[in-house]
Amino acid sequence: MSREEDIEYIKINGFKKFKPERQSFIDSEGQSWLQCKFCCEFQRVDSIIGYITCGNCVNKIDIIKFPNTIKKQKVSTGRPAGWHWMAEYVDKDGNVFHKGKEQPKLKGTLKPTKVKPMKKKKKLTEDEKLARDLKNWKKRLKQKRGKPNGKKHK
């Protein structure tokens, strides 16, 4: 069977009914190998009975089966994250928004808001988290000690 025929067959009958002839063997170490149902690459298997689909082909099938799940690139509005929470935001076309509500009367009267790119928060490593917690704990301890509690050391 050629590739095109395979694909046609699958389109008509579905993946489950696709049972092509595939080779299998057991190597000198007792490891079983079976050809991928689709691309014929040999894969390590526990048992040579049945059919297998290699990881590459699983991905490809997902794309064929669910073409709409492929992530579409987000279309940027050019507006910054959280623009509708801003007291006043003016987009590049001069549209004015007060807390996300468009103010048509003000359109074109203000300069577009300049947006600073947000700084990404650095993810802390486990060690850094520990150091931060320790710092906070020491701080709290100091505050506790600083409070007058009546009894003073002589």
Least Cβ distance, residue 117 to Zn ion (angstroms): 42
34 binds Zn ion (CB under 5 A): no
90 binds Zn ion (CB under 5 A): no
- Given 38, 52, 90, 91, the residue binding Zn ion (CB under 5 A): 38
Find the part of the chain contacting Zn ion (CB under 5 A) among 33-41, 69-77, 92-100, 119-127.
33-41
Find the part of the chain contacting Zn ion (CB under 5 A) among 23-31, 38-46, 102-110, 112-120.
38-46
54 binds Zn ion (CB under 5 A): yes
Find the part of the chain contacting Zn ion (CB under 5 A) among 52-60, 73-81, 97-105, 133-141.
52-60
Cβ closer to Zn ion: 22 or 107? 22
What is the rounded distance in angstroms from the CA atom of residue 102 to the CA atom of residue 82?
A: 15
- Given 8, 14, 31, 39, the residue binding Zn ion (CB under 5 A): 39
Burial 73-97, CB ≥16 within 10 A → b, else e? eeeeeebeeebeebeebbbeeebbb
52 binds Zn ion (CB under 5 A): no
Residues that bind Zn ion (CB under 5 A): 36, 38-39, 54, 57
